[in-house]
């Protein structure tokens, strides 16, 4: 599954790609973006407190588009100077929806997993209880056996390297699309605008 680092970087990169040229993102807004991007993974908290296997709770209703929409709307109610409510909502709702979308492409939703377990993402919750996945996973899984040194296994290092490459590709794609849109509008991306 994508790590919190991937979700966070993708969220902040998307917001940076949407901002006006010459303006900057505020730290409080970045904190809200990171929270919105990672909020669906709060379903891992019971596993941490109870010491039970993580997949027992993970990828529940928090990994649905309904939860992402609701979380984005609720987080957009947090008051921030310089950003109106509708601007915060236009950033936070897509970021909330991005988490279940990216998690669609992990090995948890693969056909191999679904043959033996109730795997996938409940994207249409509460309307449908069906879980969706992809036949060709892009993201692997980090295996966290006991003992901190065993976290640095060859499989985990391969996963981190692959995800780092995907993160760079996502950031590059966002900024390439931003440059294209600004060029089509005839705007100089280096121009300074008053705040």
- Per-residue model confidence as pLDDT tens digits over 56-65: 667 778 889 9
Closest by Cα among 125, 111, 116 to 59? 125
Tell me whether residue 195 is in a domain: no
The reported pTM is 0.78
Residue 190 lies in a domain: no
Q: Is residue 51 in some structural domain? A: yes
Q: State which of 104-118, 120-134, 141-155 shows the largest mean pLDDT.
A: 120-134
For residues 121 and 144, the answer to whether their CB atoms sit within 8 Å is no
pLDDT at 114: 56
Residue written as tokens 């090995």? 107
Please give the radius of gyration of the chain, using alpha carbons only, rounded to the nearest integer.
18
Q: Are 18 and 87 in contact (CB under 8 A)?
A: no
Asked if residues 17 and 174 have their Cβ atoms less than 8 Å apart, the reply is: yes
Res. 39 pLDDT band, cuts 50 70 90: very high
Average pLDDT over residues 137-147: 68
Tell whether 62 is covered by a domain.
yes
Whether residue 60 lies inside any domain: the answer is: yes
> Is the residue at 123 inside a domain?
yes
**Cβ neighbours of residue 116 under 8 Å, at least 6 residues apart?**
none
Q: What is the mean pLDDT of residues 104-129?
A: 72
The predicted structure's pLDDT at residue 70: 94
Mean pLDDT, residues 23-27: 82
For position 25, what pLDDT does the model report? Answer: 83
Q: Alpha carbon 190 to chain centroid distance?
A: 28
In a domain, 192, yes or no: no
Number of domains in the chain: 1
| Structure confidence at residue 118 as a pLDDT band (50, 70, 90) | low
pLDDT cut 70: percent of the chain above it = 79
Helix axes 85-103 and 4-18, enclosed angle (nearest 10): 140
- Higher-confidence residue: 65 or 51? 65
In this structure, is residue 80 part of a structural domain?
yes
Is the per-residue pLDDT at 36 higher than 90? Answer: yes
Q: What is the mean pLDDT of residues 75-87?
A: 86
Mean pLDDT of the chain: 80
Statement: residue 195 has pLDDT above 50: no
**Torsion angle defined by CA atoms of residues 145, 148, 150 and 156, in that order, rounded to the nearest 10 degrees:** 80
Per the structure, the complete domain to which residue 38 belongs is given by 4-185
What whole-number distance in Å separates Cα of residue 119 and Cα of residue 111? Answer: 9
pLDDT, mean of residues 36-45: 87
């Amino acid at each position: 599954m994508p790590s919190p680092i991937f979700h966070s970087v993708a969220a902040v990169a998307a917001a940076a790609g949407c901002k006006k040229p010459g303006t900057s993102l505020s730290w409080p807004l970045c904190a809200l973006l990171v929270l919105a991007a990672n909020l669906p993974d709060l379903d891992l908290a019971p596993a941490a407190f109870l010491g039970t296997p993580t997949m027992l709770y993970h990828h529940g209703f928090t990994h649905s588009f309904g939860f992402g929409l609701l979380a984005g709307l609720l987080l957009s109610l947090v008051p921030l100077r310089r950003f109106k409510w509708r601007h915060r909502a236009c950033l936070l709702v897509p970021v909330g929806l991005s988490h279940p979308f990216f998690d669609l492409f992990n090995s948890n939703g693969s056909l191999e997993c679904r043959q033996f377990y109730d795997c996938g993402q409940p994207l249409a919750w509460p309307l449908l209880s069906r879980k969706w996945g992809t036949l060709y996973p892009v993201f692997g899984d980090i295996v966290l056996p006991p003992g901190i040194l065993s976290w640095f296994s060859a499989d985990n290092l391969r996963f981190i390297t692959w995800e780092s490459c995907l993160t760079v590709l996502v950031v590059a794609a966002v900024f390439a699309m931003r440059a294209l849109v600004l060029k089509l509008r005839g705007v100089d991306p280096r121009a300074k605008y008053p705040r």
